[in-house]
Structure 1
Amino acid sequence: MTLWIDPGAGQVLEVLRRAGHKAYLVGGCVRDSLAGRTPQDWDICTSARPRQTMELFGTERCIPTGLQHGTVTVRQGEGLYEVTTFRVEEGYSDGRHPDRVSFVGEVEADLARRDFTINAMAYAPGEGLIDPFGGREDLLVHRLVRAVGDPVRRFEEDGLRILRLYRFGAREQLAVEPATGRAAIAERARLDCVSAERIWQELYKLLAAPQPGSWMPPEILGQVLPWLDTAGQPARYAASLAVVDALPPDPLVRLAALLAPAGPGAARQAVNALRCSRAQGEEVCALAADSALPLTGEPLRLQARRLLARMDARRAGRLLALRRGQTGDEGFARLAGEVRRLEREGACCRVGQLAVNGKDLLALGVRPGPGVGRLLEAALQQVIEEKLPNQHDPLLGWLKENL
């Protein structure tokens, strides 16, 4: 078997091997290559110790990113490549990090510490695939995500692997191997030991997968998002998953779809607990709050302009996608098309786009204060309803008449 290798990664392998060290591509890049995708990252494992790696490539080309875990990042050409010494890990007293790391001389021992068989493969030109746990068959033949060795032990070592299990299943469209799935559900309380930031990173990736609903068991999602009440409201949760699968792969829209049925406070509590960025949190909360948006029966152009008066085009597009997924009503898709058309036209839908501003009102003798904003909002409604063009003189004339 021959796999295409990124030229920079190939050069790093060659330098290590010429110096007498064992060196392989490992993990995700091997999995992605076998699946027919071009990897984004090319990780390398080697028998060389970190100091030996740095001596080979020179300190000016090396970043000591994690020497205690054997990792050096090497600059090669335009790329950065993580080079990590073969290692084994012992003791996970905090359920997240190994208490001890020991360097070893054989790649098979290194692969044995990894989470799933599809990630426990290594490859080197001339030597081929190193696959002691059957990851290639699980990926391409059995179509399974399976833990390496004892699944309970794998999840005891790092609770985040429970979410990673379902994320890999959803991304690769692989079934979860039954014993691995049973262990994940039995050990789900270990997710409580994982930082909120890491939970959100994995949940975000899961929600970005194609149709992830089948890989979001209620026991697991209920553990990380207790506001969903997956045990008490199983029918509601099942309906939410159907909406998630009907939506485009936008994690924020999909999270809003899950949280909206749980009530107005659920979205705010969830984004605070997950420690999403402020922008992400505000987007999810806004979408959840507006998740009952109706089609009014007014002309689409008027509905679209009213919507754009309240929010920017990106949020409007997300909200209309959410409503279409919730209702199946193609009217929301048509309204989204009108929103895009108005944006292309540069149509005036917000006060800041008006051809008049506060200075014009002050020049007319209006006193500074809230009245200025109210008058501009009233002028905007005239433009939105197409009773007036967005032109300076007609608007100024209307304002003079309505002071």
Structure 2
Amino acid sequence: MPKISPPGHILEIISRLESRGFETWCAGGCVRDALLLREPSDWDIATAALPQETAACFPGLRVLETGAAHGTVTLITPKGPVEVTTLRVDGEYTGHRRPIGVSFSRNIKEDLARRDFTVNALAYHPERGLLDPFGGQEDLHRGLLRCVGDPMRRFDEDALRILRAARFSAALGFEIEKGTLSAALDSLGLIKSLSGERVRQELTKLLCAPGAGTALKRYPRIILAALPELSSLPSPQEVPPELVPRWAALLRDCAPDSARGLLRRLRFPNREISEITRLIRQLPLTPQGLSLWKRLETAGLTLKDLAVSGGDLISLGYSPGPGLGAALEGLLRGVLSGELQNSREALLSHAAKNM
């Protein structure tokens, strides 16, 4: 087993809580990533201490208690924020998303039993070593994503876990275990209960993950259940692992207005909606098109920066409507590519020739 070596400030937090009589572990994704020889982005701590007891153990640190109702406090350490969560058992769920209530526990195994996948139901103690009550380490070796316990129940509790399965598949390069996948596909109707914002967050993480193309090929039904506006998924395309080009590649067969409606439903910020739909409409996702998008992103230019306006083109004879917008976008592309000078004379001349 690879050696798990939490950073010094994490060990200090564990030691402080343990010295006050509170059993404390590293738990979840940080343990998974350490076993995969990946650098954990965060080290989450699970403890028998209640939120107020955790805060009392660190009088010299700023403590954020915004998540205390669900057992989580955030310690602001010199090395950065660290989340410390009380061991807990979830009550009944509501709306296929959140538990109605949370009961705090003193038992780490009870806490791990409520987690989504076996590879995330792992804990590590500096003295006691690895705790793996559900076979997560074996699933790591086999490259499998398997629900903890009954997968139908897990997905009924929280429908977001269906998308998380596909997302972790893309991020880790794992396959969804047969029984877990069958339950996920049988539960696709639950996805409609999720907020657009949550769907956006999970799909963005999936699309920007190293194995996004493989996950899209393996699990198209999951993606399409989250994006019912699409009838099929386009073939994967090599584009930078960034939000705008990845979403543009996914939606490239959509009309701009349809794509805009989908993105609004998913609660994308207006700026990102504009950038994605612009890339769909104007920039074929070729190396040249992506290079142009990069210049646009770096320059930060918009239609407002052009030396001409829509009114100027209407004076030339253009009609208000989509054609006018497309003409202005074409002028912006020309300026960004260096083919046109951003001067009133040059832009009006080009627009007149291309009416």
TM-score normalised by the chain length of structure 2:
0.81
Give 1:64's aligned residue: 65
CA contact (8 A) 1:63 1:74 kept: yes
SS state at 1:247 partner: coil
Q: CA 1:388/1:5 → structure 2, altered by over 3 Å: closer, same or farther?
A: closer
* Aligned: 1:270 with 2:271: no
2:273 paired with 1:281: yes
Letter in 1 for 2:220: P
* Cα separation, 1, equivalents of 2:20 and 2:73: 17
Q: CA shift at 1:192, angstroms?
A: 1.2
What code does the residue aligned with 1:51 have? Q
Corresponding letter in the other structure for 1:284: I
Displacement after TM superposition at 1:209 (Å)? 1.0
* Alignment match, 2:225: 223
Change in Cα spacing, 1:388 to 1:218, as seen in structure 2 (3 Å) is closer
Q: Percent identity?
A: 40
Alpha-carbon separation, structure 2, partners of 1:20 and 1:151: 35
Determine the structure 1 residue equivalent to 2:319: none
- In the alignment, the residues of structure 2 paired with residue 343 and residue 30 of structure 1 have an alpha-carbon distance, to the nearest angstrom, of 37
Instruction: Tell me the SS of whatever aligns to 1:149.
Output: coil
2:199 is the alignment partner of 1:199: yes
- Give distance in 2, aligned partners of 1:387 and 1:80: 48
Contact 2:279–2:293 (8 Å) recurs in 1: no
Deviation at 1:336, TM superposition (A): 6.0
Aligned residues of 2:173 and 2:211 also touching (Cα < 8 A): no
Match of 2:149 in 1: 149
What is the distance in 1 between the residues matched to 2:152 and 2:297?
53
Which residue in 2 is equivalent to 1:176? 176
Residue 243 (structure 1) aligned with residue 244 (structure 2): no
**C-alpha distance in 1, partners of 2:339/2:56?**
75
Change (3 A) 1:257 1:388: closer
Cα distance in 1 for partners of 2:257, 2:112 equals 44
CA distance 1:184–1:390, shift in 2 (3 Å): closer
Answer yes or no: is the 8 Å Cα contact 2:172–2:211 preserved in 1.
no
CA distance in 1: counterparts of 2:279 and 2:339, whole angstroms: 30
Return the offset for 1:134: 1.4
Aligned AA (1:228): L
Q: 1:353 to 1:185 in 2, by over 3 A?
A: closer
User: What TM-score, normalized by structure 1, do the two folds share?
Assistant: 0.72
Q: 1:341 to 1:40 in 2, by over 3 A?
A: closer
Q: How does 1:92-131 map to 2 (within 5 A)?
A: 92-131=93-132
CA RMSD of aligned residues (A): 3.6
**1:109-147 CA distance string (max 9 Å, x none):** 1000000111110111121111111112211x1110111
Q: Deviations over 1:151-203 (max 9, x none)?
A: 11111111111100010011100011011111111111111111111110001
Please tell me the residue identity of whatever aligns with 1:88.
Answer: V
Contact 2:166 2:222 in 1 (8 A): no
Q: SS of the residue aligned with 2:164?
A: helix
CA contact (8 A) 1:259 1:266 kept: no
Amino acid in the other structure paired with 1:222? L
* Structure 1: runs of 5 or more not aligned: 231-236, 291-318, 325-332, 358-368, 399-403
Deviation at 1:5, TM superposition (A): 1.0
Displacement of 1:257 in angstroms is 2.1
- Compute the displacement of 1:59 (Å): 8.0
One-letter amino acid matched to 1:69: H
Give 1 or 2 for the bigger CA radius of gyration.
1
The structural deviation recorded for 1:28 is 1.2
Q: Given residue 236 of structure 2, which amino acid in structure 1 is its aligned partner?
A: V
What are the superposed Cα offsets for residues 88-108 of structure 1, whole Å, 9 maximum, x if unpaired?
Answer: 012112211111211111101
1:79: how far off?
1.7
Matched residues in 1 for 2:76 and 2:101: separation? 28
Cα 1:53–1:220 change in 2 (3 A) is same
Conserved? CA contact 2:169–2:211, under 8 Å: no
Gaps of 5+ in 2: 317-327, 350-355
Shift of 1:221: 1.8
2:139–2:146 contact (8 Å) kept in structure 1: yes
CA contact (8 A) 1:47 1:105 kept: yes
Contact 1:8–1:79 (8 Å) recurs in 2 = no
Which string of whole-angstrom CA distances, capped at 9 and with x for unpartnered residues, describes residues 29-71 of structure 1?
A: 1111111121111110011111211111128521112222111
Aligned equivalents of 1:386, 1:340: Cα separation in 2: 14
Check whether the contact 2:75–2:81 (CA below 8 A) recurs between aligned residues.
yes
Supply the distance in 1 between the matched residues of 2:137 and 2:120 (Cα, whole angstroms): 9
Tell me if the contact between 2:248 and 2:277 (Cα under 8 Å) persists in the aligned partners.
Answer: yes
Tell me, yes or no, if the aligned pair for 1:227 and 1:259 is still in contact at 8 Å: no
Contact preservation (8 Å) 1:170, 1:210: yes
Number of aligned residue pairs: give it.
327
Instruction: Indicate if the aligned counterparts of 1:50 and 1:70 stay in contact, CA closer than 8 A.
Output: yes
**1:74: which partner in 2?**
75
In 1, the alpha carbon distance for the partners of 2:258 and 2:158 equals 28
